Amino acid sequence: MLRITGMESFREMVAVLGVMSCAWLHFGLASRMKSPALPIQSEREPLPSKGLSGCSFGGRFYSLEDTWHPDLGEPFGVMHCVQCHCEPHRNRRGKVFGKVSCKNIKQDCPEPSCEDPVLLPGHCCKSCPKGELDRKQVDSVFDGFEYFQEKDDDLHKSYNDRSYLSSEDISPGESRTDFVALLTGVTDSWLPSSSGVARARFSLSQTSLVFSITFQRMGRPSRVLFLDADGNIAFEHRVPRAESTQSNMICGVWKNLPKTQVRLLQAEQMQVSMVTAGSRREEIQGKIIKHRALFAETFSSTLTSEEEHSGMGGIAMLTLSDTENNLHFILMFQGLLQHREKEHPLVPIRVQLQYRQHILREIRANVTVHDPDFAEVLTNLNSRELFWLSRGQLEIAVETEGQDPRRISGFITGRKSCDTIQSVMSSGDALTPGKTGGVGSAVFFLHDNGTLDYQVQIAGVSSEVVGVTIEMKPRRRSKRSVLYDLTSEYAAGRAAGSWSRMEARHIHMLLQNELFVNVATADHQEGELRGQIRSLLYSGLEARRHVLPVPLAGQYVYPPVRTGAGGHAWVSVDERCHLHYEIVVAGLSKSDDATVNAHLHGLAEIGELDESSPTHKRLLMGFYGSQAQGILKDLSVELLRHLDRGTAFIQVSTKLNPRGEIRGRVHLPNNCEFGNRAETDEGDSDDGVYVRDPEELKKDPHTCFFEGQHHAHGSHWTPHYNNCFTCSCQKRTVICDPIICPVLTCARTIQPEDKCCPICDERKEPKDVKALDKVDEHPEGCYFEGDQKMHAPGTTWHPFVPPFGYIKCAVCTCKGATGEVHCEKVTCPPLPCSKPIRRSPSDCCKECPEDERRHLDHSDMMQADGTPHCKFGKHYYQNSDNWHPNVPPVGEMKCITCWCDHGVTKCQRKQCPVLTCSHIVRRQGKCCPECHDALSKEDEDLMKIPEKKTRKH
């Protein structure tokens, strides 16, 4: 009985979800349009899945086998105790379709083993605090964690979404899963086996797979391929050109892994391959596996062979003991053991630790061909060995014994990764917590020789900075453990330099997130700011490598806020004028809010530094934990200009400080004068600012193919067939609409050859311009904010609503007398057929199917043995007929001729001769421009308006 009641309640909440989704859509579009509000919703129908099998739920589309927690929006949020599943079913014809099934999972919660379990954000079941988890619990979570995250863009998630969890709030195994792969030459290929060896590390975080790959003894690869169990390519990453500091490293992210690929990855049934381009093609390949050594690894080595095309290679994962100078390591190698050795169950090998060809340690062991991995501990490293380890001068080698020994070796260095080593220092995290509104930001880079480069920024502190140090966790509160003092490098809020005497133990602690940065001031001698040095998982944001983050401090908020929080943010604008951001915060006090588990940690916003209107802000996202990242694609022109001038800000607001808790100024020079929409008022070049690799465009499922070219989703361009139209690509659908020319108040106009609209001829203005002056004072026409254009009185058009493009379900009219724009929803006509269809996703109204409409309206034309006819608009034409197309609201286009060729409509624009004169005009009623000098006086009097006429209502 309880279950029935629960499901009825859930159905009611789903009904609420539908209503709230509609309300959200209406509010979002209204806020973008401002005025007037547009009735742009088309007829209700299921969410289109573009031919894919799956489930539509709550306005979102889910693939088969996907699972998710339903999001009911504010104030309900995500129902974490309800789990929905898209179950595959088959109809009578055998076609697969999805069916949504939801159940309450709270009753399946395990009984916690501790006395005081807690409910973590984003969880349904209570669990023991992190300190009480035993090793077995962590291991089981590490192995069996399922990723039930949604695939939608993070920018559109509800504020109450609990999926933004920080590593400090959950167990290590729940936040991400790490994998490793050893890549060596492919020996069973007809090509010579490569000498290259690569080590790849992978981190599966939610539904994104982040990878860092280092390689040796081969050219820079051009592609990284992920292969499933059958050898099919599941994902391809194109490798950019090498940078000077990362020439042998490849960084990348595979976003939105399908559920099936996640399962293959977890089951260790996926391989990774790297291929070089050019005449000397090389390929190396390896299997992706889980490995517990990745959790503690702080040193690594890639082992290669001096033999050419041997296909041999290996990797070593190493770590120091927490208290003793013992070096633990695990070896993985390929190609070292020959296939003929399968007859012998055990193969003897030697593992050597060397310094400049001198053997320091040697271990003998037996391994098998089927299980060649090898683990061992080198105990009690002396001070010299630890020094050479810290400098990257120790070499580890593996050699087989016998008549034909084979050998691989490599130098041991600190663990290489694409992750960013960084720290946010806040007063809330100081040894004596406070609230000063100051912030510190630091970025580090570890070299192979043990040198640590650092760049530190400090802002908003209460008094003069007297000390900046790198420290360990204090053994006692009264005594700090200082490892390195960089105060001498500090000046004017910044410090930059290198720590060149790092010990091996310090490198180990650095890569285990066990070091801190402490900032002491005159008023706080023991430290006003403090922050843990952490590795920030690579996200694909290139700004991390090139620029320092923007410090976020309470002192930068208007008015200033004395807070214990601090943060920093990487922000960049790409060539498509999309804003990429990544924010890290620290010191957000949880003690001030006893119900923090039920509320957001913060809201990330971007806005303009205009103190007279401090509320002029734009929401980026709401987030939990200590990080927020995403992409903002529909920036306004004003905001882009503020970013270019350095008068914009990034801000984090919280429940306690809704008007802003920390803020930082952002300066991003850009050339996005027209915004990310790339308006084509003046006939801009193809795709505007959407510059993408043509090969990438071909593979994008949302790309449009038009006039022999691929266009990215969301791009706009002027078509070749008529420069008086503007086209846009909306998920494989090309939408072209006419350009409405503004009303000109001058007496004479000319038509430039490369423009759609006429312009005033300022050379021959009449002397008597009194009447024209009156028109100038009160120009007729309407300015529409959606497309930011003037529209002539009486004209009608489909409104342009960024980022949705042209809305075909609404028609706007310019009322010339008042200058007002009136928009109303298109009324779809009644249809005589039983099963109407929507021919294109962008169409507002449905139509009768072709065969049924022909039968109803043109039965006299339907002859089985006749030549196929053509349909254009609402008219039908016999074979060989030709006509000028009529395109509302432009009218008849006499410069374009169409003809019917055996059922196929073909159109062509009249070819105009190339003119060499300086003054080119277009006569009324003529298709081609002419030289102005050759016109007679009578002809000049006709040269006033373009051939295109607007339709009045």
Q: Is the pLDDT of residue 353 over 80?
A: yes
Predicted confidence (pLDDT) per residue in 756-806, tens digit: 777 777 654 444 444 334 333 334 678 776 666 777 777 777 777 654 566
What's the pLDDT at 162? 23
Tokens read off for 205? 């975080």
Q: pLDDT by residue (tens digit) across 279-325? A: 778 899 999 999 888 889 999 999 999 888 888 999 999 999 988 89
Instruction: List strand residue ranges (DSSP E) for 840-894, in order.
Output: 870-872, 875-877, 882-883, 886-887, 891-892
Q: Assign 239 a pLDDT band (cuts: 50, 70, 90).
A: very high
Checking if the pLDDT of 197 tops 60, the result is yes
- Is the pLDDT assigned to residue 173 strictly greater than 80? no
Asked if residues 144 and 158 have their Cβ atoms less than 8 Å apart, the reply is no
Most confident of 22-26, 261-265, 872-876, 947-951: 261-265
Instruction: Answer yes or no: are the C-beta atoms of 418 and 538 closer than 8 Å.
Output: yes
Q: Are the C-beta atoms of residues 943 and 924 closer than 8 Å to each other?
A: yes
Asked if the model's pLDDT at residue 545 lies above 70, the reply is yes
CA distance 920 to 448: 66
695: burial class by Cβ within 10 Å (0-12, 13-18, 19+)?
exposed
Q: Using alpha carbons only, how large is the chain's radius of gyration in Å?
A: 34
Evaluate whether 521 touches 432 at the Cβ level (below 8 Å): no
Q: Which residues on adjacent β-strands are paired with residue 782?
A: 791
- Residue 284 has what pLDDT? 94
| Residue 104, token pair as written in the block | 């309450």
**Which H or E element spans position 735?**
strand 733-738
pLDDT for 224: 96
Residue 601: pLDDT band by 50, 70, 90 thresholds?
low
292: its two tokens: 């517990």
Handedness of CA 28, 30, 32, 38 (dihedral sign): positive
Alpha-carbon span 640 to 646, nearest angstrom = 10
* CB-based contact 466:525 (threshold 8 Å): yes
Residues whose CB falls within 8 Å of the CB of residue 594, separated by 6 or more in sequence, listed in order: none
The answer to whether residue 149 scores a pLDDT higher than 50 is no
> For residue 202, what is the DSSP state?
E
How far apart CA 624 and CA 612 sit, in angstroms, is 31
Residue 423 clears pLDDT 60, i.e. is over it: yes
Asked if residue 745 lies in contact with residue 775, where contact means CB atoms within 8 angstroms, the answer is: yes
Nearest C-alpha neighbor of 332 from the set 408, 249, 221, 218: 408
Higher-confidence residue of 141 and 861: namely 861
Edge to edge, the sheet with strand 810-815 lists 796-797, 810-815, 820-825
Mean pLDDT over all residues of the chain?
A: 75
- What pLDDT is attached to residue 695? 65
Please give the pLDDT value at position 529: 97
Residue 442: per-residue pLDDT: 97
Residue 744 — very low, low, confident or very high, per pLDDT cuts 50/70/90?
Answer: low
Residue 933: the pLDDT is 60
The DSSP annotation for 364-387 comes to EEEE-SS---EEEEE----HHHHH
pLDDT of residue 156: 30
Distance from the first to the final alpha carbon of the chain: 63
614-632 burial, b for 16+ CB within 10 Å, e for fewer? beebeebbbbbbbbbbbeb
DSSP class per residue in 759-804: EE-GGG--S--HHHHHHHHS---EEETTTTEEE-TT-EEPPEETTT
Q: Which long-range contacts (CB under 8 A, 24 or more apart) does 790-793 make?
A: 790/740, 790/742, 790/743, 791/740, 791/742, 791/821, 792/740, 792/741, 792/742, 792/743, 792/816, 792/950, 793/743, 793/817, 793/952
Per-residue model confidence (pLDDT) at position 766 = 45
Between the alpha carbon of residue 294 and those of residues 95, 255, 284, 329, the distances in Å are 44, 22, 22, 11
Is 639 a residue whose pLDDT tops 90? Answer: no
* Banded model confidence at residue 840, pLDDT cuts 50, 70, 90: low
pLDDT value of position 13: 47
220 contact partners, CB below 8 Å, separation of at least 6: 239, 241, 242, 247, 248, 276
d(CA 842, CA 821): 23
Distance CA 726, CA 680 (A): 7
Confidence class for position 691, pLDDT limits 50, 70, 90: very low
In the predicted model, what is the mean pLDDT of residues 867-890? 74
pLDDT over threshold 80, residue 919: no
Contacts of 28 (CB under 8 A, 6+ apart): none
Banded pLDDT at 694 (limits 50, 70, 90)? low
Grade residue 857 by pLDDT with cuts at 50, 70 and 90: very low
Question: What pLDDT does residue 799 have?
Answer: 78
Most confidently predicted of 236-245, 475-484, 707-716: 475-484
